[in-house]
Amino acid sequence: MSIPIYQVDAFADRVFGGNPAAVCPLETWLPDAVMQAIAAENNLSETAFFVPRGDDYDLRWFTPGVEVDLCGHATLGSAWVIFNRLAPERSVVRFHTRSGILTVKRDGDSLAMDLPANPAKPCDDAPGLLEALGATPAEVLTTRDHFVAVFPTQAEVRDLAPDFGRMAALDRWAVMVTAPGDDVDFVSRFFAPRKGVPEDPVTGSAHCVLTPFWAARLGRNELTARQISRRGGSLRCRLLGDRVELVGRVAPYLQGTIDI
């Protein structure tokens, strides 16, 4: 069996930046174990698989270890493949996912992705978090799946050196850290060692949490953001009620075939 594969760098205006994602267009679904094995072989933070559904697509995402409910950068990458390789006449694409219908549209030389907002709530008790971070944030918030640690400065976020073993033992599967940016509205980093991703380069789903937080903190709904991982990536974020629109660019890296 031969399966097409594309690798792109999402939320990047050049190759070797942003967050790499593998994208595999399929005619019909492969067995889950095969898709998981492909994602493990790719060893990227996410591999996306999609199949046609009328004029739309069904879309799923796998880390090297597990299937996940939402992945922003691999959704952006999947839309790029459709717009630039499979159906260049299209300007909008809709994906049916575990997180509902996600829409991506062309926005100049960028892509605009519509995702559900995921506001965080204040958290009074996060056992083990400070030890895992090796630092004390100004405040801690939580969602069902994440802790959010807010720091006063970009430098504090940049200089964090988490203990990933301790972090993997927390009762949330991911931790995001954030602060006001020096030359953007806010910066962040994202850690998910329990899911096999010690640090994610650029995380679309994290900005579903961070955009509502910073929109309320700064008093406006259009924001600029940068994830300050080693590779780094830039986003424009818009809060639209209970949705978040993330705008970013995609740089293609490779195109090939998987033979299994």
pLDDT digits (tens, 9 = 90+) for 50-77: 999 999 999 999 998 899 998 999 999 9
Residues 235 and 140 occupy one common structural domain: yes
Q: Dihedral sign for Cα 33, 35, 36, 37, please.
A: positive
The residue behind tokens 């790499």 is 20
| pLDDT tens-digit map of 143-188 | 999 999 999 999 999 999 999 999 999 999 999 999 999 999 999 9
Looking at the domain assignment, is residue 101 inside a domain?
yes
In this prediction the pTM is: 0.89
Looking at the domain assignment, is residue 150 inside a domain?
yes
List all residues 6 or more positions away from 21 whose beta carbon is below 8 Å from its beta carbon.
7, 8, 9, 10, 44, 45, 46, 47, 48, 71, 73, 74, 76, 77, 78
List all residues 6 or more positions away from 116 whose beta carbon is below 8 Å from its beta carbon.
99, 100, 208, 242, 243, 244
- Catalytic site residue 46? yes
Number of domains, the chain: 2
Domain that holds residue 228: 121-241
Question: How many Cα atoms occupy the beta-carbon half-sphere of 44 within 13 Å?
Answer: 25
Residues 208 and 147 occupy one common structural domain: yes
Catalytic residue among 41, 46, 67, 139: 46
